[in-house]
Amino acid sequence: MPLSDSRSGKSLGRSLAKVDGSPRASMVLTGIFIILVLGAVHYARDFLLPVVTAVLLFFVFMPLQRRLLGLGLPGTPVAAGLVLGLMAGIAAVFVLLSGPVMQLADNMPDIVRDITRRLTAIQGAMLNLMNTLGESEQGFVPDLRQSATEALQDADDGGSADFLLTTASGALTYLAEAPAKVAQVLFMLILLFFLLSSSELIYLKIVQSFGAFSDKRIAINTLYKIERDLGGYLGTVTLINAGLGVCVGVAMWALGMPVPLLFAVLAFTLNFIPYLGAVTGVVLTSMVAILWFDDLQSVLMVTLAYFTLTALEGQLITPHWLARRLRMNRVLVFLSVAFWAWMWSFLGMLIAVPLLVMMRVILEQFPGAAKVANLLSDDTQPRVPAPPR
């Protein structure tokens, strides 16, 4: 190798060494690493979602399992009983919904045909209104009831058949994906059983992985605090959502909505998603009411009832019953829900807040991360009044 090439190679190596050790290079590498991790998490969601759900349920069931073990019961039967109880709860929900769902399936052709005619009527009314407003110089508003009736009479069966075909194809797509979803649920339940049956060994191995006694104590205290906070949060929210579901179901039944049990389950499930769940529930309920009722007053009553119940729950009941130490920063909660919705769709939104609670508990145990943990919480210190001048 020529001398000049040797010198240029050494200088290039020194330059790369300086660049690799610079803060800018570290930031670039950190950014690339984060992007790769996010891509891996999104790509492996079918595997990671049941794993994360099982871990969250493990911490939720651990206090109950510890109490049962304190009564002298063996660990494996206790874990099996808890998992079977969870399976029974899931099966009970499906059994309760099977009747209304089968009724909807039997009446689906008539329902689709009625929805198609109503949408055609609304479309004809809006077109008639736009044409009339464009032709009239005085802004005359036509009779929408008459226009809707004419459009309803002119609706043909071709559009209804197309809509029915599209709905049937969408239902077949969901049915084709059902075995994969069932497999994920079974995988989650089996993993939860192994976690619960090996809970003592898992805790022991986690504690043994730390050297100093103070670190061991911090580790076990962190695990217990995750149990208390996560179990307290999910337990309280589940009870509140169950009460909300009952109230919504009764209100929908009193207002004459179809299949009120479905709206009760919908309100119970969606309310695990902060902010977006309530908005989604109001929108879906209003859409069904528009297609079900013929008068605007009934639609407004249904919308107002659902909105009022969710508003009372979100503004009064949940803040009162949820401990202050479990409340989270609202802005970060919203961003967390949006992020996990982007990563793992609807099920990601359900576990967004529990993951945030667990993250805050872990960060609270590290002095260097105390500021980040405080940012996640919603605790506000009372301001000291200024002394009088």
Residues 96 and 261: beta-carbon distance below 8 Å: yes
Using only the alpha carbons of the chain, give its radius of gyration: 29
Question: pLDDT tens digits for 130-184?
Answer: 776 665 544 444 444 444 444 444 444 444 445 444 544 544 455 556 677 788 8
Residue 195 near residue 58 (C-beta atoms within 8 A): yes
pLDDT of residue 373: 75
pLDDT at 226: 87
Digit-by-digit pLDDT tens for the chain (389 residues) are: 454 555 555 554 555 445 455 677 778 888 888 888 888 888 888 898 899 999 989 988 988 888 888 888 888 888 999 999 988 888 887 777 776 667 666 666 666 666 676 667 666 667 776 776 665 544 444 444 444 444 444 444 444 445 444 544 544 455 556 677 788 889 999 999 999 988 888 888 888 888 888 888 888 888 888 888 888 888 888 889 999 999 999 999 998 888 888 889 889 988 888 888 888 899 889 888 887 887 788 888 999 999 999 999 888 888 777 766 667 778 888 888 888 888 888 888 888 888 888 888 888 877 777 777 777 777 554 444 444 44
Distance, in Å, from the CA atom of 377 to the CA atom of 330, rounded to the nearest integer, reads: 9
SS3 labels along 29-89: HHHHHHHHHHHHHHHCHHHHHHHHHHHHHHHHHHHHHHHHHHCCCCHHHHHHHHHHHHHHH
* Domain boundary assignment for the chain: 46-198, 210-379
Nearest-angstrom CA–CA distance, 84 and 87: 5
pLDDT confidence of residue 385:
43
- Take residue 146 and report the two structure tokens written for it: 């008459």
> What's the pLDDT at 148?
42
Q: What is the pTM of this model?
A: 0.70
List Cα–Cα distances, 304 to 68, 245, 264, 299, 344, in angstroms: 45, 16, 16, 9, 31
**pLDDT value of residue 370:** 72
